[in-house]
Copies of this chain bind each other. A is one copy, B any other.
Amino acid sequence: MVLHAPDMALRILIVGGGAAGASAAARARKWSQDAEIHMFEAGSMITHAPCGIPYYVGGIVGDPSMLKTYTPSEFSKGRNVNVHVGSRVTRVDLRSRELEVEEAGSTARYGWDRLILATGASPLIPRVEGVGLKGVFTVRLPDGARELRDGLSAAGTVAVIGGGYIGLEMADAARSLGKRVLLFEAMQRVLPTTVDQDVAEVVHEELRANGVELHLSEPLLRLEGRGSVERVITEKGSYPVDAVVLAVGVRPDSALAESVGLRIGETGAVYVNEYMETSEPDVYAAGDLAETTHMVTGKRTWVPLAPPANKMGQVAGANSVSPRSLKFPGVVGTAVTKVFSYYVGRTGLSDEQARGEGIDFESKLIKTRSAAEYYAKYETIYVKLTVERKGGRIIGGQIVSRDKIAAGYLDLMAELVGRGATLDDVFFSDLSYSPATAPVWHPVITAARVLSHGRL
């Protein structure tokens, strides 16, 4: 057992300085003046925001160094946390409760009373030939963003592999750089695991209208080139390209957790309960590394996004100081992005997911507008609600519009889904109206009315 500081303050070690790790550190400090807190980050930045990388590439963010909330020294001073950057945790010893850390050219050992793992997730690399060629990129950390931007800037034609959120954002960014852009998606629509076909089709139109060459139902076979990537090969063709962005998904960075036999959940991420406790006493996991509960299905789910990561980190940090004091209730799978001029988002279950769960549901996509009928300035809003046929509980919502208010309505739907609201609840929600902001029948209420079959 490593000795504690003389006052025997609680020693909390946190592996990972991203959203979850830094939130855990900040919360642990807030809840305890005395704890000795160490945060280990393999890269050079903490509180980094990988979600911002496409916007740096596209030119909306000036420099990758902006893609963080705090510098290590700001965080360290402001919160009295020992921030170790460039520190790789190479071994976890559960018996001695020690971490082995490679930092500053040597190996150090740190003992813990509480360990919080927040090692995040990293891009999946498709198991095909050519992914190691020069000019093939993933979107991972701000550390690598400049190289990504330089690589795409030098290209004439860019292929994006994968039509998920990051793929769409990178296609948009590459168009902002003036590149010819080919987007390859193995499934028959973009955002295939999160939105339904009817919603995706609005996005398809927008992508095409902005010059993205959309290749749906076209799985990648391999990348070809001599040294640098030169061609994307799919089942349907061979496409000359100068750069490739791989955006086919992410996987939890669970090597460290697995190395000591922490329970891995059915989702493939690290199992935690609502207190963010892993299968080992005093070892917590949080953020993209950890799975959680889906509040609609009650089943385990894995949603590697920044907002749940921050909250999980916060819960782990609080509980590391004061065990079982805060519960993370789970997620409903809310996500949003901007694709060219469209905002597209979803919460709860899509129709496809509801079908997969064997739920007896119905749904409707309605088309309405973002202002009163007579108000000249408006955008079209598409809203989809998915409800249980019996009882009318809202189990999912999808939205797409050029009006940013769509993202606000998405939050409303997330809240409705999260609390298990019914169509009647939605109808009688006292939602806002003014001619400049909404139709007099609110878009989400209109969707509920249509699904009420004349009752409302």
Report which A residues bind B (CB closer than 8 A): 19, 30-31, 49, 51-52, 55, 60-62, 66-67, 69, 165, 295, 305-308, 310-311, 314, 328-329, 331-338, 343, 345, 347, 370, 372-377, 403-412, 414-416, 418-419, 421, 427-438, 440-442, 444, 454, 456
Contacts and interface: CB of A to CB of B under 8 A. Distances in A.
Given A62-B376, A305-B433, 10 more contacts: A49-B374, A61-B374, A165-B434, A307-B430, A332-B430, A337-B436, A404-B404, A407-B434, A408-B411, A410-B432
A52 B406 CA distance: 22
Contacts of A403: 404
Contacts of A295: 430
B377 A442 contact: no
Nearest to A307: B433
Contact of A408 (B52, B308, B409, B434): B409
A51 B372 contact: yes
Nearest to A67: B374
A171 B283 CA distance: 61
Number of copies: 2
Contact of A440 (B49, B406, B441): B49
Nearest to A427: B311
A442 B347 CA distance: 16
A430 B418 contact: yes
B434 A411 contact: no
Contacts of A329: 428
Contacts of A435: 49, 51-52, 55
A442 B375 contact: no
A432 B414 contact: yes
A395 B416 CA distance: 18
A410 to B, nearest CB: 5
A429 B437 CA distance: 24
Contacts of A345: 432
